[in-house]
Structure 1
Amino acid sequence: MTEQALSEMYKFITDHVAIGIHAIDKNGQTIIINSKMKELKGITDDDAQQKIMSSMNDSYLYHVLKTKKAMKNVKQTLWNQLGSEVVLRSDITPIVANEHLIGVIEFAQDITERELLAYQPLRRYGQPLTFDIITAVSPKMKTVIHRARMVALNREPVLLYGESGTGKDMVAEGIHHELIPKNEQFITLLCRHDEQAVLEQLIKVIDTKEQTTLFCDRIEYVSLDMQEKMLELFHAHYTEHIFIASVGEDPIELIAKGQLLKELYYFFASVTIHVPSLSERKEDITPFVSDYFRRYRQDTGSKLKGLSEKVDMLFAQYDWPGNLKELEVLLDTITASLSNEQMIEFDMLPVYFRWKMQNNKLEEAQKPQFLADASKDIQPLQSFMQEAEQYYLKNALEMFEGNISQTAKALGLSRQSLQYRLKKFSE
């Protein structure tokens, strides 16, 4: 078999396996990233190199490259291009040939369904989630809590709707703890993909003698036929249990798109509560971060005070497509690497997040002067390329707070090459 034929065979295999594969050489340059890995991490062919380069310093691959120690069963929570939560489990291993490190490879498996398709009591922060614990400073969130308290008082079925990560699960558990008389258990049933498992779990919960608050999360994920079966069970047992459901969009729009059964909506229609996105209630960001750090200090004895003024401002400017869940995962990532710091500074943020903030600023800013515009003459291509390179290097350097080594590594350049280019532009 020729070398070209063997290469084509390897490419076919890597692009058709059910796991994500990403390999880098000893310099941190990507040599293999298969279609599955791009899909899992929300990377398109157009922006692949940019995303890989921008996150390289912060990735597990780079950590293994530096330490030369394998990392097994690493769980990562990401948000894909559609803003949906994806949970990965990865093995990252150094590649050694003739006793020399030549690269690192990551094998990633999508375990989103395994993680989410389960019913379990919601116990975040190690204690029941009551309305007193939920951060609700904004008028919109205060309205949500007020309406949810009324639902608990009347023991009514309720439909919660809003984007992924907004805290619909927190509101559902808050309702459970507000009930009078109290129900004996709170169960979350995540309605994703495996419909038979969903139905079996539902029947198991309903058949129990314990009074239960059942939260059916993202009920639009199951088919209309399955929704009809679930509705029959709700009607038959609504006097014994409290039923709460959630959807990711306006239920009327879901009905129009054929994703939500009209009769199921009518069952919950007496009370429908919209849980707003974090971008609609940015007043809640700083209090949520403060509450998170307060719990962190209690659990670890840390002297961490909070965010620096710059980071606090960046958090307020960011759109948070993953909402409250994205913010919480980001804080988990930051605090995992803390030692005795008292303030979270910009350079302590994960590189992938700094890159997203940089892109946000570029999108909001006026179009750079070097870009072609109908109002002025087109300039020679060589001049354009020089200006584009200068602009890109300048912004990359700012993102890394002027650190030449980190900037060069992210750009895939040697330190000397970057210094030469910067010196050329300054002359």
Structure 2
Amino acid sequence: MQPEKLTDTAFIHPVYRKLLDYLDIGIHMINTEGRSVIYNRKMSEMEDMNPKEVLNKRIMEIFLFDSEEESRLLQALNNNVVHKDAKQVYFNFKGQEITTVNNTFPLTVDGEKIGAVEIARDITKLERLSRETSRGASDARFTFDQIIGNSPAIEDVVENARRATRTTSSVLIYGETGTGKELFAQSIHNGSSRASKPFISQNCAALPDTLIEGILFGSVKGAFTGATDHPGLFEQANGGTLMLDEINSLSASLQAKLLRAIQEKTIRRIGDTKSRSVDVRIIATMNEDPVDALSKNKLREDLYYRLSVVSIVIPPLRHRKEDLTVLIAHFIRKYNRLFQMNIQEVTDDVFNLFSEYDWPGNVRELEHTIEGAMNLIYDDEPIGFQHLPLHLKHKFTQPPATSEGTERLFTQQPEPGLPLETYMDTVEKAYIQKSLTEAGGNISQAARTLGLKRQSLQYRMRKFNL
């Protein structure tokens, strides 16, 4: 290869170019003029630039450097400076921040310099996550007073959670998505003696184990390429509370390390040889029944028993529909303030629909439904069926009958030729449905109103697919 052939990209054999594109490291090479002559697929992905935007262009045209001294490729080319496993933060011409760990060096052939090359590994995401988790000691905003509901189901859970504030024992909170697990976790923290210390939360399902371990336990410089001395969440939460969401998503090996840290109250950073003492209260949350997680080997038994010293089960909204009235009023007030509106209520048809709906997304889904509806309202009218999201409109193709409509069913004349048994079944189903709605979905309460045993009412509900 002769130096004069590096004036453009044509000197690279197509086979070699293909091989370079298969490598899982970024490679960027410039010639003696400072123009890019090699820019492989991985580097293109890391820097979010098309090779056509880079090849045959000078470095200062591609990146937002204030001077040539800031470019390590140009330092290598002009001053023979070599960088090994060096972290670099820079911006492409689109203004996007990129963080890499680079090996940069001048390139010579037969003693003559022909350019410079940079071999890079992308740590942009890891760096962003490190910054986010280091900011994770955000104050816990919620307290028990902000948990909305006066149903016996929610009041029992709140009372049990209040009792957990008196100790430093681990807590396991189980609840379906949208039931408010973090709200309870923050309330426990704020009601405890640790309220003045950090509250840090981490979703364990959001990241692979290779990243989670470093985030939880920290790292020391040299533990892996680009690693720096960085405290993990255990150290950042020292003296306070660490909430681990979706704990069952961790691998068995990482669950074992977590168990050891909880039991011994010590952690060891990745790459370190010494242990560090930590004083952290663990609140773990799950959206899957712990019994099911244990049976599917998603949760280690020993970790489960260690975490579930205090167990809190948050009921789904479908089991506390008597709270719909106060929840709806609360969310309307909240978005009235945010949107500068003056909505007062939902229509009777909408309330009946809400009472019949199972709310798979729970309280969070109800809040988003109210927020979405209020975005479509003019002149402060009540929230009506026409304001609801499409999935609810499709489920209820027309508004459910109001209680007045149900009453009319009992007094109207039966259709000619309608068998008595069919008519009686229709009336019985409507009456049971009305009683359940008025009881907010509470089967025991509806059974007392109907003068039936709970089992008898449940039998009729199955009969009529209620």
Residues 1:194 and 2:208 aligned together? yes
Does structure 1 conserve the Cα–Cα contact (< 8 Å) formed by 2:154 and 2:315?
Answer: yes
**Letter paired with 1:257:** K
The structure-2 alpha-carbon separation of the partners of 1:212 and 1:127, relative to structure 1 and needing over 3 Å to count, comes to closer
Residue of 226, 231, 240 corresponding to 1:212: 240
SS of alignment partner, residue 189 of structure 1: strand
Output one character per residue of 1:326-359: Cα deviation in whole Å (capped at 9) or x when no partner.
1122222222233332310111112232112339
Offset from partner CA, 1:116-168 (integer Å, 9 cap, x none): xx757698xx9821110111211111111111111111222100112111111
Structure 1 residues not aligned, in runs of 5+:
1-113, 362-427
Matches within 5 A, 1:33-44: none
Counterpart position of 1:221: 249
Q: Partner of 1:207: helix, strand, or coil? A: helix
Deviation digits for residues 54-106 of structure 1 (CA, Å, limit 9, x no counterpart): xxxxxxxxxxxxxxxxxxxxxxxxxxxxxxxxxxxxxxxxxxxxxxxxxxxxx
- Which residue of structure 1 lines up, in the alignment, with residue 355 of structure 2? 316
Q: Which amino acid aligns with 1:216?
A: L
Q: Relative contact order (alpha carbons < 8 A, sep ≥ 6): 1 or 2 greater?
A: 1
Paired residues for 1:413-424 under 5 Å = none
Q: State the Cα distance separating 1:291 from its structure 2 match.
A: 0.9
Look up the match of 1:230. Answer: 258
Q: Secondary structure at the match of 1:324?
A: helix
Match of 2:200, SS state, is: strand
TM-score (norm 1): 0.53
What per-residue deviation string (whole Å, max 9, x for no partner) do you get for residues 25-70 of structure 1? xxxxxxxxxxxxxxxxxxxxxxxxxxxxxxxxxxxxxxxxxxxxxx
DSSP-derived class of the 1:358 partner: coil
Contact 2:335 2:371 (C-alpha < 8 Å) held by counterparts:
no
Query: 298-307 vs 154-163, which deviates more?
Result: 298-307
Aligned residue type for 1:131? F
1:17-56 correspondence to structure 2 within 5 Å: none
Distance 2:155 2:200 in 1: 25
Match of 1:150 in 2: 163
Pair 1:288 & 2:301 matched: no
1:245 equivalent in alignment to 2:284: yes
Aligned mates of 2:188, 2:303 — CA distance in 1: 20
Cα offset, 1:198, TM superposition: 2.1
Q: Aligned equivalents of 1:342 and 1:224: distance in 2?
A: 54
Amino acid at match of 1:255: L
In structure 2, distance between residues paired with 1:127 and 1:164 = 20
- CA 1:139–1:299 in structure 2 vs 1: closer, same or farther (change >3 Å)? same
In structure 2, the residue matched to 1:138 is: 151
Q: Partners in 1 of 2:339 and 2:137 — Cα distance?
A: 22
Change (3 A) 1:146 1:330: same
CA distance in structure 1 between the partners assigned to 2:137 and 2:182 by the alignment: 8
1:347 aligns with 2:382: no
Q: How has the CA–CA distance of structure 1 residues 278 and 149 changed in structure 2, closer, same or farther, with 3 Å as cutoff?
A: same
| Residue 309 to residue 360, structure 1, CA distance change in 2 (3 Å) | closer
Which of 340, 365, 369 matches 1:326?
365
Counterpart residue type for residue 227 of structure 1: Q
Contact 2:374 2:383 in 1 (8 A): no
Counterpart code for 1:357: F
Match of residue 305 from structure 1: 344
Q: Please report how far the alpha carbon of residue 210 of structure 1 lies from its aligned counterpart in structure 2 after TM superposition.
A: 4.5
Is 1:173 the counterpart of 2:212? The answer is no
Aligned positions, number: 245
Contact 2:242 2:280 in 1 (8 A): yes
Question: Whole-Å Cα distance in 2 between the matches of residues 294 and 215 of structure 1?
Answer: 29
Report the Cα distance in structure 2 between the residues aligned to 1:144 and 1:253, rounded to whole angstroms.
Answer: 21
Q: Distance in 1 between matches of 2:187 and 2:140?
A: 12
Query: 1:309 corresponds to which letter in structure 2?
Result: D
Percent same amino acid at aligned positions? Answer: 30
What CA RMSD, in Å, does the superposition of the two structures yield over aligned residues? 2.8
**1:100 maps to which residue?**
none
Alpha carbons of 1:196 and 1:332: their partners in 2 closer, same or farther (altered >3 Å)? Answer: farther
| 8 Å CA contact 2:247, 2:285 repeated in 1 | yes
Offset at residue 176 of structure 1 (A) = 1.1
One-letter code aligned to 2:245: D
Secondary structure of residue in 2 paired with 1:132: helix
- Distance in 2 (alpha carbons) for counterparts of 1:209 and 1:191: 16
Equivalent AA in structure 2 for residue 179 of structure 1: S
Write the distance in 1 (CA, Å) between the matches of 2:343 and 2:261: 49
Q: Which runs of 4+ in 1 moved over 4 A?
A: 118-123
Match of residue 38 from structure 1: none
> 2: distance between equivalents of 1:275 and 1:359?
32
Q: Helix, strand or coil: the match of 1:307?
A: coil
Cα separation, 2, equivalents of 1:331 and 1:315: 11
Contact 1:303 1:341 in 2 (8 A): yes
Moved more, 352-361 or 325-334: 352-361
Q: 1:268-283 to 2 correspondence within 5 Å?
A: 268-283=307-322
Q: How far apart in 2 are the matches of 1:200 and 1:353?
A: 43
Relative to the length of structure 2, the TM-score reads: 0.49
SS in 2 for 1:142: helix
TM-fit CA distance, 1:183: 4.0
Listed as ranges, the gaps of 5+ residues in structure 2 are: 1-127, 218-231, 267-277, 401-466
Bigger radius of gyration among the two: 2
Q: Partners in 1 of 2:212 and 2:377 — Cα distance?
A: 40
The answer (yes or no) to whether the contact 1:279–1:319 under 8 Å persists in 2 is: yes
CA distance in 2, matches of 1:339, 1:154: 50
Shift of 1:281: 0.8
